Amino acid sequence: MGVRAFIFPGQGSQEVGMGRDLYEAYSSVRALYARAGELLGFDLARLSFDGPAEELRQTRVTQPALFVHSTALQGLLRRRGVKPAMAAGHSLGEFTAFAAAGALSFAEGLRLVSSRAEAMTAAAALQPGAMAAIIGLDQAALEKLCAQLSTGERVTVANINSDQQLVVSGSKAGVDEVVKAASAAGARRALPLPVSGAFHSPLMEPARQKLAHALAGAPFRAPRVPVYCNSDAQPVRNPDEIRRALERQLVSPVRWSEQVRRMIADGADEFIEIGAGSVLSGLVKRIDPAVRVRTVSSLQDVLEFA
């Protein structure tokens, strides 16, 4: 057996119906969703399973829904003896990774995720922003374009997903200018993303301050396995370092390609994406085609682990 890494998706991977098959098959999953509804004050199961999609896309719903779905899946995998040697998550998925590694209980993790989602929503309302995916332009060239904005607006590289898949974040006017400039500079694709704010940019500073308060009061423990962080691609196991990493993540780039390479350098040769969609699996394959990748997003996927 190789060295297995669990990876967890973030906002944008959600889809109406996710988790319904698990809910119908296992009483433990039904209990998880019932507990989530109590903690959140709304029926997360109904919104996850039946939508509408517009409501599921709201940050305050999306982030808890993804967290609970991924948590349910990884719990079922563990019952089948499938365990990781390390873990990581993309943006919101980093919270799921820490909870899966035992640094937080389910309830503590969900409270933090809900606090984060509310803080990000409020920050986006206070300082509206935008994000855009830039495909086929390297990081140095894109950073140069961001630095040369004629509008005077601030735009930063927010996600370094692979060498050729990047995301920028900032003001609407600034992001629009970068999209046009990137297309003119030879990017294969440059398209705005359907998000409500400038996530992972300095415009999230008000959210960082609110989240810092919530993190300070959360009872973190040392995780059972190292979790590799978005903001610096380094593994952390100390509770105070975890708090700092999760706080910093809100206003810093997600260095996903660096994380994956660091995990491979530390021995990972099998990545299991646990949650809705298969975005991270595709990224890992592009970062290093030699590693094994599996996606676990449904009951059938869980049952295929003998």
Average pLDDT, 10 consecutive residues per value, the chain (306 residues): 92 95 98 98 98 95 98 97 97 98 97 98 94 96 91 90 95 94 95 90 96 96 97 95 96 97 97 97 96 97 88
Give pairs for 98-102: CB < 8 Å, separation 24+: 98/220, 98/223, 98/227, 98/242, 98/246, 99/67, 99/71, 100/6, 100/8, 100/70, 100/71, 100/74, 100/274, 101/223, 101/224, 101/225, 101/226, 101/227, 102/221, 102/223, 102/224
The pLDDT tens digits for 268-300 are 999 999 999 999 999 999 999 999 999 999 999
Task: Please state, in angstroms and rounded to a whole number, the distance separating the CA atoms of residues 111 and 104.
Answer: 10
Q: Is this structure's pTM higher than 0.85?
A: yes
pLDDT computed for residue 1 by the predictor: 59
Per annotation, catalytic residue among 48, 91, 169, 297? 91
pLDDT of residue 167: 97
Residue type, 281: S
Domains of the chain and CATH, by start: 4-125+202-303 (3.40.366.10), 129-192 (3.30.70.250)
What is the model's pLDDT at position 306? 61
Identify the H or E element spanning 63. Answer: helix 59-79
Per the DSSP assignment, residues forming a β-bridge with 296 are: 274
**Helix or strand holding residue 132 (H, E):** strand 130-135
Annotation marks residue 91 as catalytic: yes
Name the catalytic one among 200, 231, 252, 281. Answer: 200
Residue 69 annotated among the catalytic residues of the structure: no
Q: Distance between CA 57 and CA 53 in Å, rounded?
A: 6
Output DSSP code: residue 278: S
